[in-house]
Every structure is written in C-alpha cells, then in structure tokens.
Structure 1
C-alpha cells in the first residue's frame, strides 16, 4: 500500500526539532518560520510540554467523555482566564475543521435558521459544513456545494446587512485574520458593526481564530483589537503545539443539551495535558508579548524592502506579497538559507513561526531574504 498522494511535499525529511529549529535526516538545521502551519506555538520539544505529556501518559492517557475528566475543567478555567472569556463554555474536539463544524451546527440549533454568511478568500476547514463556508472551489466537492452559504466581500458592512435583513441567516463566520486568503485583516470598524448587526438580526457571530488565535497576533485573539464579544470562538492549531486538539468557546446565552455535540477523542487526558502545558508556557515566558514585539520588528523592517509590494499582518502572522510568483524564492529560502516559510496563493509568502521567535532570529531571516532579493 502507498500513501494517497494529495500533498505537494518539500524535499525535506525532519527527524528532530528544538525551539525554532528543525533538523533533517542529513543533519541540516533549518530556522522554522512556518511552525508546521501555525501549529508550533511554544517552540519544538519544549521541556515543560514534553514532561506534562509524559507524566500524564504514565497515569492515564485516554478514557471517553462518559466519565469526569478534571483536566477538561482545568483547561476551561485556564483558557478562560488567559483569554478574558472566562464566562464562556468550552467544547473540546480534535481539529479546527471540527471546531468550525460544531460552531456552525450550534448556530443553527440555537437560531432555528439554516443559511450562513462567509467572506471572499475565507478558509474554515475541509469537513462538510466547514468547507462549504470556504471560498475555494478546488476543495469543495459537489456534496459541499449544496450547503446554504453566501460569500460576501470582506469589510463590506452594507452588503452584509442586506443579506441579514432577509431573516434566514443563522451565522456569520469570519477569521480573526485570513490565513490562506493572504493574511488579510478585517477592519476594526467592520468587526464592531458586524457584532451590532448580528445581534440586531438575531444570528450568531462566529470568530474563527484557529490560525490567528492563541497569541499569534500579539493578543490572545486577533479580533480583540475591536473589543467585541462573539457568540462563538473556534480554536485549534497552536492550542496544543502539535497534539490534535480543537475547541469551541461558547457564549453562555447558547444553552447546551445532552447529545447536541460529541467527539470520541475530544478533550482526552493527553490532549488536555498538552493544551494546559501550552497555556502555562505562554504565560510563564510572556510569549504573547514576545509575538507582539518581534512581529512589530519584522513588519517594520520588511516594510522597508522595495522588492516586496505589500507587507501585511499582526504579531507573528505576516504575509509578504510580491508582484510575481514566490515558488522559486521560497525554495531558495529553504535550500540556500535553510529557512522554512509558508505560502498563500502563488505570490504571498506567509510567516507563522513559533511565538518564541527571537529578534535575532527574525533579523537573520531579514538578512537572508535581503540577500536573495538582491541577487
């Protein structure tokens, strides 16, 4: 049997990693500005993270959600405290797509409506309802296209209100910062008006913070710059530093019923231990503040480079837009400079490093990119 060939692979075989570096099977060390697609939040192989998982595994690794798991309650308390949403309720699952799937279901359950508003260039996952709200025809099968989703331009409040007036919308789902869409940031006024009209027309506002959350933007959630309170917030990626975890933060106005949601593996003991370790390291090492400061340095310095047509982002979620395709440049960064980077569409390099990235490491990338652009 062979693997189902659906991933365009970099010609690299990582065998170990530490902090912001990954080492391949030839002993070559790479600076990781990709973070396994924004997943590595506290750095690779953090000692506290490793110890927390090992200690938990020696006690109990898994049991189903048919029993009391104190770690789930501890995680909910810690996440609420650090995010500022301690009044919300937490549902635990396994991935970002699953989190969005459950969020959309909750919105429909609680409103009795069925239509969803999403935005151009949005990406919310690859499962049925989540991919239905994703603006990418290449990954939506016919069954996904039957979902009742309307796509609108980002930051157009008038277009949004026209749709909400029809009275059949259960949810508006929006990313705190669009990731695959090219690191595009919703305007603060748009988010504030979005919250207002969602309440006015009795639909649920879902903030997808799967990529932009957990400190990546320099705040716990990217939308917090607008000082709004969404009905539902979804998280995953950086939540457990590589262990599969997803979560849905739910406003207490949305009431739970037994059997409404479920996940066999969601919130298992190891997942909770991993997620708690991430929050503990983020807090003790001030990683959100570090993401803000190092991000400002990167944005400032990269913004001075004339060969980059536009620099966008906040914190350590940054997009570098070029006037031409970036596939050759990205390969040069990997092969010649030993630096991992991400990509959005064909002409945007995306930076999603661990939140522990130092200013010196950021400066190393700037120098390396400058050399390549000059040549």
Structure 2
C-alpha cells in the first residue's frame, strides 16, 4: 500500500533530534528554525519532557473523559497561572483545527446564530467549519462551502461594522498574527474595536492562538499585547511540544452543559502530561524572557541584511520578506547549509518558528548561512 500523496516532501529523513537540532539517517545535523510548523516549543527531546512522558505511559496512558482526570485540573491551574487568563474555563481536544471547530460550534450554540466572519489570508484549519473560515478555496470541499462565512480585509473596521450590524454573525474569528498568511498583524485599535463591536451586536470574538500562543511571541498569548479579552481562545501547536493536544479557553459568561462539546482522545493522560511539562519548562527556564532577548538580537542582526525588505511578526514568530520568491533560497538553506525554515502564502516570505530555547549563537549560524546563500543568488 502506498501513501496518499498530498505532501510535497524534502528529501530528508530525520531519525533523531535534540533541542534545536535534527539529525538525518546519515548523521547530518540540521538547525531547526521551523519547529515542525511552530510545534516544538521547549526543544526536541527535552530531558524532563521525555522522562515525564515515559513515566506516564508506563503508569496510565489513556482513559476516556468519563472518569476523573486530575491531570486536566492541574493543567488548567498551571495554564491560568502562566497565561493570567483567570476569566476562562478549559476544554481540551487534539489539534488546532479541532480547537477552532469547537470554538465556532460553541459560538453558534451560545448566540443562536450561524454566520462566521473571517479575514483574508486567514488559516484556521482543515475541518468542516474551520476550513470554510480559511482563506484558501483550494482546500474547501463542496460540503464545507455550504456554511456561511464572509471574508473581509484584515483590519477593515468599516466592513466589520457593516456585517455585524446585520445581527446574524455568531463569531468573528481572527489570528492575532496571521501565520500561513504571512505574519501580518492588525493594530491595537482594530482589535479593541472588534471586541467592542462583537459585544454590541451579540457576536463572539475568537482569538486563534494556535500558532502564536504558548509564549511564541514573548507574551503568553499574542492578543495580550493589545489589551483585549476574547470570548474564546484557541490553542494547539506548541502546547504539547510534539504530542497532539489542543484546547480552547472559554469565557465564563458562556455556560457549559453535558454533551455540549465532547472528544474521545482530548485531554488524555499523556497529552496533559506533555502540556504540563511544556508549561513547567517555560516557567522554570524563563523562556518568555529568552524569546524577547533572542528575538531582539535576531531582528537587529537581520536589519543589517539589505536584501530583507521587511521583518514581520513578534518574538520567535518571525517572517523575513524579500522582493523575490524564497523557494530556491529555502532549498539552499536546507540542502547546503542544513537549516530548516518555513514558507507562507506570501511567496517572498521566509518564516522563522524555532523552539523557544533558541540562543543567540544559533542566530549567528543562521545569519552567516543566509548571507552566503544570498550572495550565491546574486551570481
């Protein structure tokens, strides 16, 4: 049996990894500045992470949500402490798409409305409602397209006002920093206005923090810079450092009832152990501070490279924008300099999404490689 061929693959086969490095079957070392789509938050094979997961799987790896699971309570408590999101309750699932799916579903339940407002260049996942709120018609099947969604320009207050005033919108869903779309971020004024408009017209504001959450921007959540309080916050990727886990934080004004949401695997013992270890490591190793320091160093270094026309994003969620497509540059970096980076919907943007443990010396390695690769492009 062959694999269903939906992924274009680099000809590299990783067999092990440690902190910010990945090693292939030939023993070649790669500097990982992409973290598998921003998933690796505390470094590959972090010793505490490995130890705690091994211990948990040897004790109790899984049981359903029909029994007590104190690890879920511990995760909620630790998450509240580090994120300072005291006004929320936690529902756990398995992925970012599932988190957004539950967020949209919950918003529709709560408001009794059916329409979604999303933004151009958005990416919220590939499941039923999440994919229709994603600005990519190529991945929206006819069965998805029947759902009601309106796309507007990111940051367009007038368009948002006009749509919400019709009174049929259950949710406005927005990435605070667009990931796949190309690292764009709207203004604080826009986010605050969106919050006010949702309150005025009876819609819920969903902050998609799947990629930007769990410390990636230097704040625990990216929305916190803007001083807003979303109704629902979705999260995943860096939440488990590679173990599948997602979740939503639900404002306490939204009431729970039995059967409203549900999942078989969400919040299982291994997933909670993984996420607890991520949170403890972020706290114990001062990774939020490290993100700010290394990000500042990274931006300062890249500011001296004339070919870079713009630096987007915050923290260790960064995009380097050139005035040419970066596909060949990215291949050069991976095959000749052994550095993983990412792409985006913007063909000229190189995405940087490393572990939050990245150090300044790793940045120096990248800057040296990028400079050489750019020189080669001129030849």
Q: TM-score range by the shorter chain?
A: over 0.9
Deviations 1:149-207 (A, max 9, x none): 00010111111011110000110000021000001112111111111111111100000
Unpaired segments ≥5 residues, structure 2: none
Residue 278 of structure 1 aligns to a residue whose secondary structure is helix
Counterpart Cα distance in 1 of 2:134 and 2:147 = 11
Shift >4 Å, 4+ stretches: none
Tell me which residue corresponds to 1:357: 358
Counterpart Cα distance in 2 of 1:87 and 1:223 = 15
Counterpart Cα distance in 2 of 1:142 and 1:63 = 36
Counterpart Cα distance in 1 of 2:300 and 2:139 = 35
Tell me which residue corresponds to 1:113: 113
Counterpart Cα distance in 2 of 1:182 and 1:43 = 24
Counterpart Cα distance in 2 of 1:255 and 1:271 = 25
Residue 342 of structure 1 aligns to a residue whose secondary structure is coil
Counterpart Cα distance in 1 of 2:186 and 2:35 = 23
Whether contact under 8 Å (1:80, 1:86) holds in the other structure is yes
Deviations 1:20-76 (A, max 9, x none): 000000110000001011000000000110111111112111000000000000001
Counterpart Cα distance in 1 of 2:186 and 2:94 = 27
Counterpart Cα distance in 1 of 2:18 and 2:158 = 48
Counterpart Cα distance in 2 of 1:105 and 1:153 = 23
Residue 171 of structure 2 aligns to a residue whose secondary structure is strand
Tell me which residue corresponds to 1:40: 40
Counterpart Cα distance in 1 of 2:149 and 2:321 = 29
Matches within 5 A, 1:249-268: 249-268=249-268
Deviations 1:231-251 (A, max 9, x none): 000000000000000000000
TM-score (norm 2): 0.98
Counterpart Cα distance in 1 of 2:289 and 2:214 = 12
Unpaired segments ≥5 residues, structure 1: none
Whether contact under 8 Å (1:77, 1:86) holds in the other structure is no
Tell me which residue corresponds to 2:49: 49
TM-score (norm 1): 0.99
Question: Over the residues paired in the alignment, what is the CA RMSD in angstroms?
Answer: 0.8
The farther-off stretch of 249-258 and 286-295 is 286-295
Matches within 5 A, 1:142-161: 142-161=142-161
Counterpart Cα distance in 1 of 2:309 and 2:142 = 37
Counterpart Cα distance in 2 of 1:86 and 1:10 = 43
Counterpart Cα distance in 2 of 1:138 and 1:27 = 38
The farther-off stretch of 78-87 and 22-31 is 78-87
